Amino acid sequence: MAYVDGFIVPVPSKNMDAYLEMSRQCAKVWREYGAIEYRETVADDVKVGVHTSFPQAVKLEDGEVVVFSWIIYPSREVRDSCNEKVMSDPRMKEMMDPAKMPFDGKRLIYGGFEMLIDL
């Protein structure tokens, strides 16, 4: 069964073009190493909740939007191999520099998920 990495990140609206450019470059690298899908979405109907919500989870600040992203792999094994190769790829070095990221990486939420239903 396929495996999914999911991400939620606050991105300053003013940095959205830079974020999307970085994401396009990342997508090429991830796909090259085995990812079968690479998706980026931006919140347009996400409210602050009473107890929990996407904005609360990333401590959304004024002028920021929530970006929800996911990468799909054929399996957990392919995901692990892909991520290892991505992290050692020289094309990623500059993009991984926290000072050059178009978002606050400290508020990025991510994790790996086994796919249960794929219709």
What pLDDT digit, counting tens, does each position of 1-54 carry? 899 999 999 999 999 999 999 999 999 999 999 999 999 999 999 999 999 999
Contacts 24+ apart (CB under 8 A), 98-105: 101/22, 102/11, 102/12, 102/15, 102/16, 102/18, 102/19, 102/22, 103/9, 103/10, 103/11, 103/12, 103/15, 103/19, 103/67, 104/10, 105/9
What pLDDT digit, counting tens, does each position of 55-97 carry? 999 999 999 999 999 999 999 999 999 999 999 999 998 888 8
Whole-structure pTM value: 0.93
